[in-house]
A and B are shown apart, each in its own frame.
Chain A
Amino acid sequence: MDWMKIGSALLILAMIIFLFPRAKQMLRDSPEAKPGDWQGAILPIMAVVGFVLLLIVMV
């Protein structure tokens, strides 16, 4: 195994360790979504997916 793989694994592991408490807190404290909220978020993200597919076809 080369040093790049070991370094990448260590960096990702450190990110997981630092992100875990924040994710736990966010899951606990985030406000509940109201009806229609998710729809308002998923629509633009689906537009991004469509745009990326278009870029793939173009290249």
Chain B
Amino acid sequence: MNRLDYSVARPAADALQVNKVIRNTYTLLSATLFFSALMAAASVMFSMPPMTYLLSLGGAMLLIWFVLPRTANSAAGLGVVFAITGLMGFGLGPILEMYLSLPNGSQIVGTAFGGTGVIFLGLSGYALTTRKNFNFMGGFLFAGMLVVLVGALANIFLQMPAFSLAISAVVIMLMSGFILYDTSRMIHERDSNYVMMTVSLYLSIFNIFVSLLQILGMTSDD
């Protein structure tokens, strides 16, 4: 006779699965962030040209759109995640170099780095401790991202600094929403994949860092 009480065992199994996804996601995220920082440092050391940012980002996007969905459920997915985050980190080199050449550049980069860490840890901690379900934000966040992209496209031709600053501010708010949304998905969606979650959280962190750099660079006294 099966004496296991499923009414108790099922929630316990779900909780174990959720904890496993959260642990795997944060472990992989830490490793990819470290790797990405190493690649960014290498890119700064080699003084890569500005075009590197565009090419690296383009390569990473192609991997995210075409390769990651096919490999996310296999061991190859891990390699793809490192390729994506490595490319994006390498692409950051020319941007970091530009900010580091400013009079208070190292302070701007350091503040943006620390600030991104505090924002990510704070929002993740909030979503994990309150265990609120932020799934309702999905449509709003994706629609907001589309509006921001259209605005960014227009600003390539308009070249308005104030508009660029506004776009960066909105990106930080949207990416903060994405961190809440993704963390909540890890808790509430049974079939969430830690490889996809890692890439999603990494993109939010990357965008917050770049936007924060831009805001601090533009508003800096020097």
* Chain A interfacial positions (CB closer than 8 Å to B): 3-5, 7-9, 11-16, 18-20, 22-23, 26-34, 37, 40-41, 44-45, 47-49, 51-52, 55-56, 58-59
Contact = CB atoms under 8 A, between A and B. Distances in A.
Given A4-B50, A58-B111, A26 B138 contact: yes
Interface in B182-222: 212, 215-216, 219-221
Interface string B42-70: 00000000110010011001000100000
Contact of A11 (B57, B141, B169): B57
Interface of B: 50-51, 54, 57-58, 61, 65, 104, 107-108, 111-112, 115, 118-119, 122-123, 126, 130, 132-143, 145-146, 149-150, 152-153, 156-157, 169, 172-173, 176-177, 180, 212, 215-216, 219-221
| Main SS at interface, chain A | helix
Q: Chain B contact residues: over half helix, strand or loop, or mixed? A: helix
Contacts of B173: 45, 48-49
Contact of B146 (A4, A23, A30, A34): A23
Closest 8 CB pairs of A and B: A23-B142, A27-B139, A30-B139, A33-B136, A30-B138, A26-B139, A26-B142, A26-B138
